[in-house]
Structure 1
Amino acid sequence: MAQHFLLSTAARSLSLVSVARMSDDEAWTTFKLIRWAETKGEPYCPRCGCLTHSFLSTRKLWKCKGCAHQYSVTSGTIFANRKLAIRDYLMAMAVFANGAKGHSALQLSRDLNVQYRTAFVLAHKLREAIAAEKAEATVSGTVEVDGAYFGGYVKPANHKENRVDRRLAINQTGKRRVVVIMRERGGMTLPFVFKSETASIETIGKRVAEGSTIHADEAAGWDVLHKRYLTKRINHQQAYSADDACTNQAESFFSRLRRAEIGTHHHIAGPYLAAYAGEMAWREDNRRISNGQQYLRMAEASLRHPPSLAWTGYWQRHQARVA
């Protein structure tokens, strides 16, 4: 019997020990090589793109000779205005990449010996960076479409006589949301969050190319897809795969997201649901490459991404709202 890829030595090409033992200079050089890989580590100005510069060795800054802008190895990236050592960011990405079902902010704070708030924001910055790669992406060919609901949990009353039917809308919190997945077989996974599966039809029309074949389950919300696409349906009450129709790849994504919710994060609903769904889609799409390659892809995505509008100064804004 062939060995599963994840159990093979090919899946392990990154050692946390090697990252943890990096000196400050080695970590800085690694960041430089990853960020400016297309110029083989030769810096260029993030504002004007000029390659001519002078280097201020005492502060490890470059000064552009074209526009006089001073920039560092993290300027203009999601790690701009950093407070931690560069090695800590490399360590965070290595640890984060190794989490098959995700990595909680509490555990990351212990791994890096930082405050929970610092780890929480850092983890969400990494999620934002890797999800940004698919911001305008579309899928085509054979595409599986499905939805799964998260959040809005209603705790049952203690005594039986006080319990209500939690399936009725009147007894729900209104926080329940559905993650709709569009997964191209042999391609990428695109997750989106809506109030209902029906609300996703317009987005599906924009993100699934014309001429594609869609596989969906028996939910009535997908009936309208027949007007635009060749659509194959599977009734899960009768079978999981029949007549060349199935949504098993979509269910595989939901399995990973559910396991992340149950075993790692415990609560992923609300305004951050889309971020966690995007992370799990990235992990699904990169599950067949080694952890070292995942680490490099995450680093490249982070160093290409501009400073985060959502997470820069997050806790200051959060405390202002509370106050």
Structure 2
Amino acid sequence: MAQHFLLSAKARTVSLKTVFRMGEDEAYGLFCEMRWPDTDGEPVCPRCGCVEAYGISTRRKFKCVACHHQFSVTSGTIFASRKLSFTDLLAAIAIFVNGAKGIAALQLSRDLDVQYKTAFVLTHKLREAMAREDMAQQLEGEVELDGAYFGGYVKPANNKDNRRDRRLRINQSGKRQVVVVGRERNGESITVVARNEAKGGQIIAARIHHMSTVHADEASHWDVLHARFDTHRINHQLSYSDGYACTNQAESFFSRLRRMEVGTHHHIAGPYLASYAAEASWREDNRRMDNGSQAMTLTAAAMEAPVSRSWKGYWQRAAA
């Protein structure tokens, strides 16, 4: 019997042991290479684009020869104003990508010996970098569409004669949201969070190539797909696959996201559901990649992402 890729040695190309053996200088050099890959890690001024800059070694900063602007390797990126060392940042990324179902901020704070607040914001910054990869994504080929509801849990009453039917609107919290995913078979996926599946489906459908073949279930709001795409439907009351039409790849995504919610994070607040959905999408799309490549891909994405307007100074705003 063939060994699963994730159980093989090829899937393990980076470890915390490797990261901490690198040392701060080597980790710093790696971040420079991720920030300026076109110049092999040589600094480029983020203000004027000049490639001539000299280093201020005492502060790990550079000064542009043309406009005299001082900058660091993380200036203008999602890691701007960072206080963690480069070794700790790289270790955090390695820990983050190694979690098949995500990593709790509390666990990361213990692994790195940092405050929970630091770990919470750092993980959300990484999710923001992950989400940027799907911003301009268009799906094509065989595409599966489906939705699943998350959040707004209502605890049932203890006594049997007083149990609440949580399907009734009067017994719902109003916080429940749907995550709709569009996923190529053996390809990429994109997600959107909406109040109902029909609205989320419209947003996803607008990002599917018109020559694609779409698979969906028998819900009535998917009927509009027939006017735009070659559409195949599957009745889940009868089966989950008829040999061709199915949404099993979409269901696989929801399985990962559900286990992240229930088993790792235990609770996902409504405003952050889109971030966790984007993380699950990134993990699904890169699941066949070794963990070293995943870490480098995420590091490069974080160094390309601009300063986070949502997470920079998050706790200072929350305390104000």
TM range (shorter): over 0.9
| Preserved contact between residue 46 and residue 76 of structure 2 (Cα < 8 Å) | yes
For residue 286 of structure 2, what is the amino acid of its counterpart? Answer: N
Distance (Å, rounded) in 1 between the aligned partners of 2:160 and 2:247: 38
For residue 171 of structure 2, what is the amino acid of its counterpart? Answer: N
Distance (Å, rounded) in 2 between the aligned partners of 1:164 and 1:101: 31
Matches within 5 A, 1:225-236: 225-236=225-236
- Please identify, of 155-164 and 66-75, the stretch whose mean Cα deviation from structure 2 is larger: 155-164
- Please identify, of 104-113 and 221-230, the stretch whose mean Cα deviation from structure 2 is larger: 221-230
Superposed displacement of residue 303, structure 1? 0.5
For residue 247 of structure 1, what is the amino acid of its counterpart? Answer: T
Equivalent residue for 1:297?
297
TM-score, length basis structure 2: 0.97
Q: Identity of paired residues, percent? A: 62
Equivalent residue for 1:153?
153
Is 1:309 aligned to 2:306, yes or no?
A: no
Is 1:318 aligned to 2:310, yes or no?
A: no
Equivalent residue for 1:105?
105
| Preserved contact between residue 150 and residue 269 of structure 1 (Cα < 8 Å) | no
Equivalent residue for 2:222?
222
1:69-118 superposed Cα distances (whole Å, 9 cap, x missing partner): 10111111100001111111111001001111110101000011111111
Equivalent residue for 1:274?
274
Distance (Å, rounded) in 2 between the aligned partners of 1:179 and 1:74: 33
Equivalent residue for 1:123?
123
Equivalent residue for 2:81?
81
Equivalent residue for 2:141?
141
TM-score, length basis structure 1: 0.96
Q: Which runs of 5+ in 2 are unaligned?
A: none
Is 1:45 aligned to 2:41, yes or no?
A: no
SS of 1:233's equivalent in the other structure is strand
| Preserved contact between residue 125 and residue 311 of structure 1 (Cα < 8 Å) | yes
Q: Which runs of 5+ in 1 are unaligned?
A: none
Superposed displacement of residue 269, structure 1? 4.1
Equivalent residue for 1:179?
179
For residue 268 of structure 2, what is the amino acid of its counterpart? Answer: I
Structure 1 runs of 4+ with >6 Å offset: none
Distance (Å, rounded) in 2 between the aligned partners of 1:243 and 1:296: 38
Equivalent residue for 2:18?
18
Distance (Å, rounded) in 2 between the aligned partners of 1:133 and 1:66: 33
For residue 151 of structure 1, what is the amino acid of its counterpart? Answer: G
Superposed displacement of residue 140, structure 1? 0.9
Equivalent residue for 1:259?
259
